[in-house]
Amino acid sequence: MSGHSKWKNIQGRKSAQDAKRGKIFQKLAKEIYVAAKNGPDPDANSALRLVIEKAKAANMPNDNIKRAIDKASGNQNAEHYEEMIYEGYGPGGVAVMVTALTDNKNRTASNVRVAFSRNGGNLGENGCVSFLFDRKGYLAIEREGLDIDEDEMLLQVIEAGAEEMETSDEVFEIYTDPEQFMDVKKNLEENGFTFAQAEITMVPQNTIALDEEQKAKMERLLDRLEDDDDVQEIYHNAEL
């Protein structure tokens, strides 16, 4: 993980994601709906609390969040979504993991397979790339406006219970054990920090550099997958 900046890839995809804000809100609403099925109170439902925070970080309106929770706890005909994970290889041998929430597994699997095959990749068997990623809690704190140096920040991060911190000019990137994520986040919040990104994610153990042609194909693959209504998250080890 050391030397890998998730933040760079987040920022690198930001303009593409901003253009799809409405679709992102739809996907977040689905994720909130699924989480809220296990209880509409975020104080008692940590999964719901986490996805609500994720939605707020994406500037999703509070009314949209409330509608998704109300839908899950109301009397409407229940929708059933199944979580699916797809694994494969992108251009240049990049490892790619895709998570989806779907009410039609055949449709989703077909769409994901086509996205890979038409953009220089191929869909593989379950387990073919997941061993190249570690499940981690991830917190990003932007440095602008912060009066704290790297050494002092590292001390606070370690005291909060995190495992590792990486620093750039723009951001402190903090990695935690997934089981300790909420505790670390709460400890840092109590010390006055706010987060530009806070999530449980899959972090690649190593990254792969691509040439310009491979990078263009990888961007097209990500665009195609992000356009799919069923796809929730995409993890990869490309340097973009």
- Residues 207-221 have pLDDT tens digits of 999 999 999 999 999
CATH of residue 233's domain is: 3.30.70.980
pTM for the whole structure: 0.81
Render pLDDT for 108-151 as a digit per residue (tens, 0 to 9).
999 999 999 999 999 999 999 999 999 999 999 999 888 899 99
Q: Contact 170/150 with Cβ under 8 angstroms?
A: no
Average pLDDT value for residue range 220-229: 93
126 in the same domain as 139? no
**Mean predicted confidence (pLDDT) in 148-163:** 93
User: Taking Cα atoms as reference points, which of 142, 99, 111 lies closest to residue 235?
Assistant: 99
Residues 117 and 20 in one domain: no
Domains in the chain, number: 3
Statement to judge: residues 98 and 159 lie in one domain: no
Q: Based on the domain organization, do 109 and 219 belong to the same domain?
A: yes
State residue 204's pLDDT score.
Answer: 93
| Position 20 pLDDT exceeds 70 | no
Q: Specify if 212 maps to a domain.
A: yes
| pLDDT for residue 3 is more than 70 | no
| Residue 1 included in any domain | no
Which has the closest alpha carbon to 84: 98, 94, 95, 70? 98
Structure confidence at residue 114 (pLDDT) = 96
By the 8 A CB rule, do 112 and 225 touch? yes
Q: Which of 48, 73, 98 is the last residue of a domain?
A: 73
Q: Are residues 140 and 92 in the same domain?
A: no
| Residue predicted with more confidence, 37 or 106 | 106
| Token pair belonging to 133 | 């990623």
The confidence score (pLDDT) of residue 79 equals 76
